[in-house]
Structure 1
Amino acid sequence: MTLRTRRLPALLLGTALVAGVLGIGTIATAAGPGDGAGPRTTAAAGDHAGHTMAVSTRAWGDDADGDGYIPAVPPVTGVTPSTATPPPRYFHEFQANCAVTHTAPDDPIVYPGQPGRSHDHTFMGNRSTNAHSTTESLHGTATTCKAPADASAYWMPSLYKGERKILPVGPQVIYYKAGVTDYTSVRPFPKGLRFVVGNPAQSAQQFREHRGWVEGWECGESFRNVDFPTNCPSGSQLNLRMQAPSCWNGQYLDTPDHRSHMAYPVIKPGTNDNVCPTSHPVALPMVEFKMAFPVDGDMSQVRLASGRGYSFHYDFFNAWEERTLKAMVDHCVVGGLQCDPRGYDQSHPERGAVLNAEYRLP
């Protein structure tokens, strides 16, 4: 099936076609679906107008025809965004604690099959992640996540102080949460889903206004910074939290801008409830990065491989073993618990744990 014959949801027809995502001078562009048009720069779902991000459309791995659209097989159809209000639960989440594996100037989402094309990234989780990674190559391989079933790939731009690369130490906290009020409607990620959160080309104001913003860069008593603090107390760490969109259109595992198949929840009119938009009705877990970098003192030489602090963004490529992910989502998110990486809530020991002492599904 080609771009000229594929019928797409209306929201995707205005998808941003991108430029200069990773500080590379070469600009990759793609024609709009079915129109043969050149580059366009409209906002992607859940992002800000004026942002653009490089689109790399070439045949590789999961995208056999090179059009940038990777269909979900089968697609999820017939879903209406849930507007139900279940019994209130303060928590509906679990953790995926994953340590750094390696760094490389690769990006298997934006520049698949093109090693060395991107700026430097720090990878967590799957040990094999590189420019050639595909759904099948990641699935079931070795991981630094506490749960061996989580072979997902997580990555972000590398952080430097001067010319020294600063890597997070030990397992980093990656939350899987309910982003919608009806936490009972959340279902597991489809195999092979991938997306980018944030944009390396965003301005400081756009970073602050991004739907995934939590508290910005922080250390010691300094927080809500869009760029790095000028100084961090001795012995402190530089921290950042950022949340991903959690509503999926049910049709594609990826799109050319790596965003349009996902959207952030919206507020239901007349309420304070978060619901998925009708264009993206499928509620998935909300991924939240909570990163800690061991750097302190004078921060004037601190930078990201992608630029200033407000260029922060991250990538997620799902490669969970399906049964385990479903068990964790059902028990912790749908079940309204605050779970550790075993799927255990210490405030509700009577509910038990999903995984055994080896962090495996019994």
Structure 2
Amino acid sequence: MKSIKQYLPLLLLGGTLTACDSNSNTETTSVDETSSSLDVTLALTPDETTSLRYAQFEFSAPDAAGYECAINEESYSECESPLFKEDIALGSNWLSVRAYDESGEFGEVTSYNWYVNNVIFEGHEDLVATNVSPSPVEPNSWRGIFRINCDFAHSSYNDPIVFPGQKDAAHLHRFYGNTVVDENTTMASLYTEGESSCQGNLLNLSSYWVPALLAPVYDQITGERELDDNGDPAWQVVPAVVGNDDEAHEVFYYSAGVDDLDSIQPLPPGLRMIAGVASTRPGEEQDTSIARWHCQTWESNDASNPQFSATIPECQEPDRLRMDLFFPSCWDGENLDSEDHRSHMAYPVNDGGPEGTHCPDSHPVPVVRVSYHYAFGVMPEFTHPVEKSSKGWRLAADMYEVTNEQAGGLSLHGDWFNAWHPTIMEAILSNCIKEGLDCHDGNLANGYRLSGTREGTQEEPPIVNRGLGY
């Protein structure tokens, strides 16, 4: 499997680098004969010319008690090796690093200069030329929207946002996007490891995950409920309709959550978000403006037919069960995550004032809105042979009994971890959303679209405890 790490060659620099004026290239001066135990050696750097908008460095000094680093115009601050910076500007950039010993004495400054090109202008294997121009959004519909399709990557009982570093600590999730996400995934590993099952591949290494949708397993002749190896009622995963480039069934949308399109900012690299509440139980139904279900034949829409359900409705074969999940799009402007994984984000408000729908003062930065839109085929292999519907389906996160009287799906929620290439995210915002266009199939409205989907590992662990996990 190709890794983006191949674009970060090791560059071993012996001795100390002497920086010139910050607006010019760095010159290298070898001082191996006189180097001190506090002179810093860089062992990993970006290419001198690259289109990557992140940078990763490794450095060392024999007697260092610690290090201070500065990138571009930043002042020095404490740093550790390896150093990862997630949002590097286009153009010239430079790193300066210095070591200090136990007494606080500093060694010589080591600097490195590199240049970041615009990936759209330079070309990339995951940008495909197109002569298709997106159309304006429909009246009374989305303000501006960008849609991508993804294939299924893999399933696991991991959750790197809620349970970082804890293997098999979550309910059963189905992951899309970055193909090697597990409990140890970090912002740096998202950008530097794996590929993506989504359109855009290396330009869209973000991770998207939701609880698995489960259906009872029936004997298709007798209609009796089948049992698993433990003698408990058996369940099976209902896969979403994804990964079909010809059908272009987009499942992930990026759009505007506020009325003032010019105020919207790109989603910051490394942002983590959760939409919906996994602990929802009967009597605590979620707001269907955030998490909702509907049958495709209902032809539901917010403008003229807002027919939505907080639980999984009984959709009949050969209908499709649809799910919509909207993430908060107002950011506090500082934190990429928070202790509860929610407090750094908020939903827009509309208090009837001249601003229309806008961000609250507590979270003043409007960012691109993320939403998930899945379709699940109501097919014979997932239904009762007589009733032939989605009756009895549940989410792996549902912590209550699903019965004939109580439908499943109340725990609808999803997680998102941003690893878009910032230049592409900026293009999505400026070309599609702010221009009020409906950009299908990864079309960037600039003569390029994102490359197609690809399979992940497709790994499917066994269903344990109705999907609730170990």
* TM-score class normalised by the smaller sequence: 0.5 to 0.7
Q: Whole-Å Cα distance in 2 between the matches of residues 322 and 174 of structure 1?
A: 17
Q: Whole-Å Cα distance in 1 between the matches of residues 204 and 441 of structure 2?
A: 10
Q: Which has the larger radius of gyration?
A: 2
Q: Are 1:247 and 1:283, in contact at CA under 8 Å, matched by a contact in 2?
A: yes
Within a 5 Å distance, the mapping from 1:57-72 to structure 2 comes to none
2:447 to 340, 349, 353: 353
Query: In 2 relative to 1, CA 90–128 (structure 1 residues): closer, same or farther, beyond 3 Å?
Result: closer
What is the one-letter code of the residue matched to 1:137? S
1:282 matched residue in structure 2: 365
2:270 matched residue in structure 1: 192
2:311 matched residue in structure 1: 227
1:310 to 403, 410, 413: 410
What do residues 156-175 of structure 1 show as CA deviations (whole Å, max 9, x unaligned)?
00011121111113234111
| 1:341 aligns to 2:441 (yes or no) | yes
Query: In 2 relative to 1, CA 145–220 (structure 1 residues): closer, same or farther, beyond 3 Å?
Result: same
Q: Cα offset for 1:212? A: 1.3
2:91 matched residue in structure 1: none
Q: Whole-Å Cα distance in 1 between the matches of residues 154 and 451 of structure 2?
A: 27
Q: Whole-Å Cα distance in 2 between the matches of residues 90 and 155 of structure 1?
A: 24
Q: Are 2:198 and 2:452, in contact at CA under 8 Å, matched by a contact in 1?
A: no
1:166 matched residue in structure 2: 238
What do residues 259-278 of structure 1 show as CA deviations (whole Å, max 9, x unaligned)?
00000001144347101111
| 1:267 aligns to 2:350 (yes or no) | yes
Q: Whole-Å Cα distance in 1 between the matches of residues 287 and 275 of structure 2?
A: 13
1:329 is paired with a residue of what secondary structure?
A: helix
Q: Are 2:286 and 2:310, in contact at CA under 8 Å, matched by a contact in 1?
A: yes
Q: Are 1:204 and 1:227, in contact at CA under 8 Å, matched by a contact in 2?
A: no
| 1:253 aligns to 2:325 (yes or no) | no
Greater relative contact order structure (CA < 8 Å, 6+ sep): 1
CA RMSD of aligned residues (A): 2.6
Q: Whole-Å Cα distance in 1 between the matches of residues 148 and 253 of structure 2?
A: 6
What is the one-letter code of the residue matched to 1:266? V
2:166 to 111, 114, 132: 114
Q: Are 2:295 and 2:322, in contact at CA under 8 Å, matched by a contact in 1?
A: yes
Q: Are 1:195 and 1:317, in contact at CA under 8 Å, matched by a contact in 2?
A: yes
1:218 to 285, 295, 302: 295
Q: Whole-Å Cα distance in 1 between the matches of residues 142 and 159 of structure 2?
A: 36
2:465 matched residue in structure 1: none
2:336 is paired with a residue of what secondary structure?
A: strand
2:57 matched residue in structure 1: none
Q: Whole-Å Cα distance in 2 between the matches of residues 136 and 127 of structure 1?
A: 14
Q: Whole-Å Cα distance in 1 between the matches of residues 298 and 142 of structure 2?
A: 26
Q: Are 1:187 and 1:284, in contact at CA under 8 Å, matched by a contact in 2?
A: yes
1:177 to 247, 255, 260: 255
Q: Are 1:127 and 1:142, in contact at CA under 8 Å, matched by a contact in 2?
A: yes
Q: Cα offset for 1:334? A: 1.7
Q: Whole-Å Cα distance in 1 between the matches of residues 215 and 266 of structure 2?
A: 38
What is the one-letter code of the residue matched to 2:312? F
2:112 matched residue in structure 1: none
Query: In 2 relative to 1, CA 169–90 (structure 1 residues): closer, same or farther, beyond 3 Å?
Result: closer
What is the one-letter code of the residue matched to 1:103? S
1:14 matched residue in structure 2: none
Q: Are 2:200 and 2:451, in contact at CA under 8 Å, matched by a contact in 1?
A: no
What is the one-letter code of the residue matched to 1:143? S
Q: Whole-Å Cα distance in 2 between the matches of residues 92 and 288 of structure 1?
A: 13
2:242 is paired with a residue of what secondary structure?
A: coil
Q: Cα offset for 1:73? A: 8.7
Query: In 2 relative to 1, CA 95–204 (structure 1 residues): closer, same or farther, beyond 3 Å?
Result: farther
Query: In 2 relative to 1, CA 216–186 (structure 1 residues): closer, same or farther, beyond 3 Å?
Result: same
1:78 matched residue in structure 2: none
1:232 is paired with a residue of what secondary structure?
A: coil
Structure 1 alignment gaps of length 5 or more: 1-71, 75-87, 345-350
What do residues 106-163 of structure 1 show as CA deviations (whole Å, max 9, x unaligned)?
0000000111000000111111111111111111530111112111000000011121
What do residues 37-60 of structure 1 show as CA deviations (whole Å, max 9, x unaligned)?
xxxxxxxxxxxxxxxxxxxxxxxx
1:104 to 141, 147, 156: 156
2:199 to 117, 133, 146: 146
TM-score (norm 1): 0.68
Q: Whole-Å Cα distance in 1 between the matches of residues 143 and 277 of structure 2?
A: 29
What is the one-letter code of the residue matched to 2:195? A
1:338 is paired with a residue of what secondary structure?
A: strand
Q: Whole-Å Cα distance in 1 between the matches of residues 215 and 450 of structure 2?
A: 40
Q: Could you list the runs of 4 or more consecutive aligned residues of structure 1 that deviate by over 4 angstroms after TM superposition?
A: 356-359
Q: Cα offset for 1:326? A: 1.0
Q: Cα offset for 1:224? A: 1.7
Moved more, 248-257 or 164-173: 164-173
TM-score (norm 2): 0.53
Q: Are 1:194 and 1:317, in contact at CA under 8 Å, matched by a contact in 2?
A: yes
Query: In 2 relative to 1, CA 335–298 (structure 1 residues): closer, same or farther, beyond 3 Å?
Result: closer
What do residues 174-233 of structure 1 show as CA deviations (whole Å, max 9, x unaligned)?
1101000011211111111001111111245544426514x533343395222122x322
User: Identity over aligned residues, as a percent?
Assistant: 33
1:41 matched residue in structure 2: none
Query: In 2 relative to 1, CA 356–260 (structure 1 residues): closer, same or farther, beyond 3 Å?
Result: closer
Q: Are 1:218 and 1:225, in contact at CA under 8 Å, matched by a contact in 2?
A: no
